[in-house]
Amino acid sequence: MKLGLRTRVAVALALVSLAVAGVVAIGTYGFASWYLLDQRQTAALTRAVLDARAVNSALDGGTSPTAALELVPSVGTSQPMINTSDGWHTASIGLPPSVFPANFLSLAADQGAQQRIEVGGDPYYVVGVPLTSGTYVEVFPLRELQQNLNLAATGLIMMSLVAATLGAVVGATTASRILVPVRRLGSGAQRIAGGELGARIDLNGDADLDPIADSFNAMAEAVQQRIARERRFTANVSHELRSPVTSIVGTAEVLERHADHLTAEDSPMIAVLGEQARKLSQTLRDLMEISRLDGGDPLVLEYRDLTSLCRDVAFSRGVDPDLVSGGPSWTFTDGRRVERIVGNLLENAQRHAGGPTEILVVTSGPMVDICVGDAGPGVAPADRARLFEPFARGEGSESTTGSGLGLAIALEQAKALGGDISLHESGDGGARFIVHLPLRLELP
């Protein structure tokens, strides 16, 4: 699953913050560790040399090794030791001489040596200085310093995590603010796609974003004007053709009534002329209706019982009203538009599926569904969306009596009422159209 832009920006800033904080933390810890250890070892080395001189003077004066070690001042937790021909001497209990590396002892007895060692997991710094009659060794524990360094490392890690968290918060906040105008553009595009062609994006004085919003508004204006021109053109053409088509239909009907006075060759031609003229007249009426849907035909709201309305529409279309089922469904809507929707769906079932087999009205929450099913050949899933386009017909349809605008008009009427139409497969294997309408429609 691809992450959203807001999440990607937040994650990116969190990683950058963590990387920067990590580099700073590692650098800080490395420098602090080196500096503190170096200072600690330098101080320990200086003290061991001074203590070795004092012990060496005492031994040269005839003082015993044990008494000479008592002359070493007790500072901190260091452990002084002397290795003479009599063996090892120490003034305190601490590390045994056996833990010292052999090469360290030999080097310390020869020219002096210093080395860090680890015993039982604890670090130590050992300094060896040669004496006139032996070797002086002083052990300095580094455990406390290492604990302080570990504590500092933990603090730096926590600070790095806090920096990453702050980076994520800043990234998410910044991305949200950046995406506000993008969401405005998306909202405007959705409103236009939903049929609200007058939707526009308000300018907010941003020098970078206002040109984008202005371009979007110009595009929306151009689309609205083009659609308006197309609708006016369709309405004008339909209006100009209505009179001559009406004359042709009237003439054809007159000729059909006097068909018995025509020759056998002319009668079929007159019948075809009448059928095609009436089909053209119906197409013109449908085109004029489509051209009026874009604000040209205002809503007239009233309380209507959709179940009773469906029975009336079924009766007027020659369909058995007993097919209508469902309890009373009172809605506040435009009854004329609902009659047009149901009538077009019934005519579609009559033309292409031998008539409807069910008309069901169901109320569910704030919506009411009107279902019109048939037992026809059905519609392939790939053709269902295209079926609501103007002049579209199903692949298996052989009917030529319709204009191909009925379903397109029904869908536009449903959207004008704040609803929609979906197409499914009926229980009889045919098509099942479901009109989704709100129970109460509010005027804009």
Query: For the segment 74-129, what is each residue's pLDDT rounded down to a tens digit?
Result: 666 788 889 888 888 887 777 888 888 888 888 888 888 999 998 888 899 999 99
Where is pLDDT greater, at 10 or 340?
A: 340
Where is pLDDT greater, at 27 or 295?
A: 27
List 359's β-bridge partners, or say none.
324, 372
Asked if residue 72 has pLDDT above 60, the reply is yes
**Inter-residue contact 377 to 430 (CB < 8 Å):** yes
- Which of 315, 306, 375 lies closest to 341 in space, CA to CA? 306
Q: Could you give phi then psi for residue 344, rounded to 5 degrees?
A: -65, -40
Asked if residue 149 has pLDDT above 60, the reply is yes
Most confident range (mean pLDDT) of 24-33, 65-74, 391-400 is 24-33
Going by the DSSP 8-state scheme, the letter that residue 94 receives in this structure is: -
Asked if residue 354 has pLDDT above 60, the reply is yes
Going by the DSSP 8-state scheme, the letter that residue 207 receives in this structure is: T
CA 194, chain centre distance (Å): 21
Buried b (16+ CB within 10 A) or exposed e, 157-179: eeebeebbeebbeebbeebeeee
Fold for 302-438, please state it. Heat Shock Protein 90 (3.30.565)
Side-chain half-sphere CA neighbours of 423 within 13 A: 23
Every domain of the chain and the residues it spans: 5-148, 210-292, 302-438
- Average model confidence (pLDDT) across the chain: 82
Strands 324-325 vs 330-333: parallel, antiparallel or unpaired: unpaired
Buried b (16+ CB within 10 A) or exposed e, 321-339: eebbebeebebebbbebbb
Residues 175-192, mean pLDDT to the nearest whole number:
77
Architecture of the domain whose range is 5-148: 2-Layer Sandwich (3.30)
What pLDDT is recorded for position 385? 74
Query: For the segment 309-330, what is each residue's pLDDT rounded down to a tens digit?
Result: 999 999 998 999 999 998 888 9
CATH code: domain 210-292 is 1.10.287.130
Q: What percent of the chain is predicted at pLDDT more than 90?
A: 17
What pLDDT is recorded for position 76? 63
Asked if residue 289 has pLDDT above 70, the reply is no
Q: Which of the four pLDDT bands, split at 50, 70 and 90, describes residue 291?
A: low
Query: For the segment 18-44, what is each residue's pLDDT rounded down to a tens digit?
Result: 888 888 889 988 998 899 989 989 998
